[in-house]
């Protein structure tokens, strides 16, 4: 659905970038394109890329080590590196690194494209990712305060001892923390601006996915992330009017009708866009382009 939406936006004249942050990397498969961590054109007006969360975490850790190397005393570097390596395998490390790349994509690619579509991981991981700006901004703010306090105490001691004072204005760690804080703040402003951002849920008409989506919509509202639409995928097409419909198919259709009614009732505050079950796997740009999305781009983000 993310690929369909991105291709639809491009077909409407919007220069579009599709970014997959899902570790499964299915975007390249469905587009039948070899994607990497830099944009590649997949259709007229549409580019795509896949971000590897584990690689981003490794890259981020190496960048942290590089900054620390220029600020920490050599005798402490071994222990500092050990603590950083422990942090690499701690809960939330991958999400933090992934969101760091997310903010950089918004910065580096934002001016080159009219639309950026993020094909995200399953709901739980995505919610953790989207909650990071608020959590990380507070956490980084605390680190900045501590770093300034340590720097001030160090400068005070060196002044008393008669040695050269520490220059906080050129502190590489402090500068890195403040730069990251500012990027997270800018990302949060974008994520919570309904004129610029919309989160689109894709759900199938089954009980558990609907329940999960209802909870996720509630969670996003707490973080101020605007929901733009609900896409209901794999909807059985209507009966062809022939007699003697298969009992199994008839039962499935009746059950879907109940779930579709629930979606309209509990999630009807947003546009609900239905996509019919296809008779074959929609793989490749041409097949994806034939799937109707009911004006998802104009309905959701104007």
Where the chain has pLDDT below 70, the residues are 70-72, 90-92, 124-177, 239-244, 293-302
pLDDT tens-digit series, residues 171-180: 666 666 677 7
What is the pLDDT at residue 54? 87
Q: Note the pLDDT of residue 35.
A: 95
User: Which is nearest to 37 in space by CA: 59, 10, 15?
Assistant: 59
CB 30 within 8 A of CB 282: yes
pLDDT tens digits along 211-240: 999 999 988 888 788 999 999 999 998 766
Q: How far apart are CA 82 and CA 73, in angstroms?
A: 15
- Helix locations, the chain, DSSP H: 2-11, 27-31, 53-69, 77-88, 93-109, 123-161, 172-191, 207-222, 247-266, 285-289, 296-300
Instruction: Give dist(CA 161, CA 211) in Å, integer.
Output: 64
pLDDT at 165: 45
Q: Which of 198, 264, 193 is nearest to 235 (CA)?
A: 264
The Cα 199–Cα 227 span in angstroms is 5
* pLDDT at position 182: 81
Give the model's pLDDT for residue 63. Answer: 81
Q: What was the pLDDT predicted at 59? A: 87
pLDDT of residue 8: 92
Name the nearest CA neighbour of 209 among 240, 238, 179, 233.
233
For residue 171, the model assigns a pLDDT of: 61
Q: How far is 213 from 66, CA to CA, in rounded Å?
A: 41
């Amino acid at each position: 659905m993310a690929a369909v939406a991105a291709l639809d936006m491009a077909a409407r004249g919007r220069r579009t970038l599709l970014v997959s942050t899902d570790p499964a990397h299915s975007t390249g498969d469905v587009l039948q394109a070899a994607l990497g961590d830099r944009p590649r054109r997949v259709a007229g007006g549409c580019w795509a890329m896949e971000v590897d969360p584990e690689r981003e975490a490794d890259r981020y850790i190496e960048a942290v080590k590089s900054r620390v190397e220029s600020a920490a005393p050599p005798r402490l570097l071994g222990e500092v590196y050990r603590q950083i390596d422990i942090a690499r395998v701690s809960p939330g490390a991958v999400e933090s690194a992934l969101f760091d790349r997310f903010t950089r994509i918004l910065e580096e690619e934002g001016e080159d494209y009219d639309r950026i579509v993020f094909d995200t991981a399953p709901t739980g991981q995505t919610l953790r990712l989207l909650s990071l700006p608020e959590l990380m901004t507070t956490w980084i703010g605390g680190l900045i305060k501590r770093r300034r306090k340590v720097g001030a105490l160090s400068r005070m001691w060196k002044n008393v001892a008669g040695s050269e004072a520490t220059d906080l204005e050129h502190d590489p760690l402090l500068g890195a923390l403040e730069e990251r804080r500012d990027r997270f703040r800018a990302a949060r402003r974008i994520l919570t601006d309904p004129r610029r951002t919309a989160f689109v849920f894709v759900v199938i008409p089954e009980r558990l996915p609907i329940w999960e989506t209802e909870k996720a919509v509630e969670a996003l509202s707490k973080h101020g992330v605007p929901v733009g639409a609900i896409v209901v995928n794999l909807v059985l097409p209507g009966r062809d009017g022939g007699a003697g419909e298969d009992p199994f198919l008839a039962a499935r259709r009746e059950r879907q009708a109940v779930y579709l009614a629930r979606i309209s009732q509990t999630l009807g505050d947003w546009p609900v866009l239905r996509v019919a079950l296809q008779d074959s796997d929609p793989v490749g740009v041409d097949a994806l382009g034939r799937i109707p999305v009911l004006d998802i781009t104009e309905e959701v983000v104007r």
